[in-house]
Amino acid sequence: MPDDAHATTGSYVKAGAAFDRDMNYIPDRITRTGGAPLDDRAGAGKPPVEDAPTWPVEPGRYRLVAAKACPWATRALIVRDLLGLQDVLSAGLPGPTHDSRSWTFDLDPGGVDPVLGIERLQQAYFARYPDYPRGITVPAIVEIASGQVVTNDFPWITHDLFFEWRDHHSPDAPDLWPADVRDEMEEVMQRVFTEVNNGVYRCGFAGSQEAYEAAYDRLWATMDWLEDRLKDRRYLMGESITEADVRLFTTLARFDAVYHGHFKCNRNQLTEMPNLWRYARDLYAHPAFGGNTDFEQIKQHYYVVQTDINPTQIVPKGPDTSVWG
């Protein structure tokens, strides 16, 4: 067995307590010119940090580090592909399991990221903050030349890829933040984040029966609301894909494979909700969504890493993912 310093496992449940996500991240922003952001509304899901450092958009200067196992990181990969930024912002892909120190590049030859030349993402964090006190999270954007992490503030990363990197979008890039539905979309995204994206974690990491049941009821109230919302529309905001769809999809893609059983969100499966299931499969058929969804990596991450929930580390063979199409 590995020693504690190199364990692939972690403790996520605090006995007797409800789960509370730490939303404090490195607040730096990558902006069009390195100056004030073009869009600074709090619609990224959290308010911007006042006087946060800014870095200029420059093709080839940065590398997006994002594990396909992680729903927050997969958002960034999907948005990068939707906007056609693959040639201006490269991507490094850590493996699905990590030790107690950091995500590692075990999918790459020799276990080293071929661009950054590091074995673990922790090295980029420590290159900038030698005593970085928080978790080493993905997604993270790293400056290639210095090897230093720039930001890991996941709600603002995807927001800024749209607003600040617009000069480099492909001609057919979708309008992920349409102005005519912006206010409503922010309300939808806030509810999706609080009750669904984070709601499944509140169920899975609940430290008491009471906390679990409260989280479960909140989750399913919003899942039912989403099922009803999608009965007469293709996507959350209408007939076009928006940032709201990216944010919901990464939870739905993990629902039956992980959250239904592992996190005890088991009132019913996604495949049993006709509108949400149709919607999820519709998005999955798009290369940016389906191409960044790896069910085996997803299962490996949750079932192997979270040993306080799954102490045997046995990874289930099911469900049958061929139903996604």
Q: 130-152: per-residue pLDDT in tens?
A: 999 999 999 999 999 999 999 99
Task: Round the average pLDDT of the chain to a whole number and report it.
Answer: 94
Which residue type is seen at 190? Answer: Q
Per-residue confidence (pLDDT) for residue 10, from 0 to 100: 60
- In this prediction the pTM is 0.95
Give yes or no for residue 43 having a pLDDT over 70. no
Distance CA 29, CA 221 (A): 34
Could you give all domains of the chain from N- to C-terminal order, each with its CATH number? 29-168 (3.40.30.10), 181-324 (1.20.1050.10)
User: In the annotation, is 201 catalytic?
Assistant: yes
Known binding residues are 103
Closest CA to 114 of 63, 151, 154: 63
The string of pLDDT tens digits covering residues 292-324 is: 999 999 999 999 999 999 999 999 999 999 999
| Overall average pLDDT of the 31-57 stretch | 88
Distance CA 194, CA 271 (A): 22
The string of pLDDT tens digits covering residues 204-262 is: 999 999 999 999 999 999 999 999 999 999 999 999 999 999 999 999 999 999 999 99
Closest CA to 235 of 194, 181, 164: 181
Catalytic-labelled residue, pool 201, 279, 302, 303: 201
> Do residues 69 and 253 lie in contact, with contact meaning Cβ atoms separated by under 8 Å?
no
User: In the annotation, is 70 catalytic?
Assistant: yes
CB atoms within 10 A of CB 231: 9
Closest CA to 159 of 23, 283, 45: 45
32 class by beta-carbon count within 10 Å (0-12 exposed, 13-18 middle, 19+ buried): middle
- Strands 148-151, 140-143: pairing is antiparallel
Retrieve residue 272's tokens.
């049993």
Closest CA to 86 of 107, 56, 60, 114: 60
Known binding residues for glutathione are 103
The string of pLDDT tens digits covering residues 154-183 is: 999 999 999 999 999 999 999 999 999 999
φ, ψ of residue 248 to 5 degrees: the values are: -75, -40
Give yes or no for residue 3 having a pLDDT over 70. no
Catalytic-labelled residue, pool 62, 70, 125, 216: 70
Distance CA 238, CA 269 (A): 24
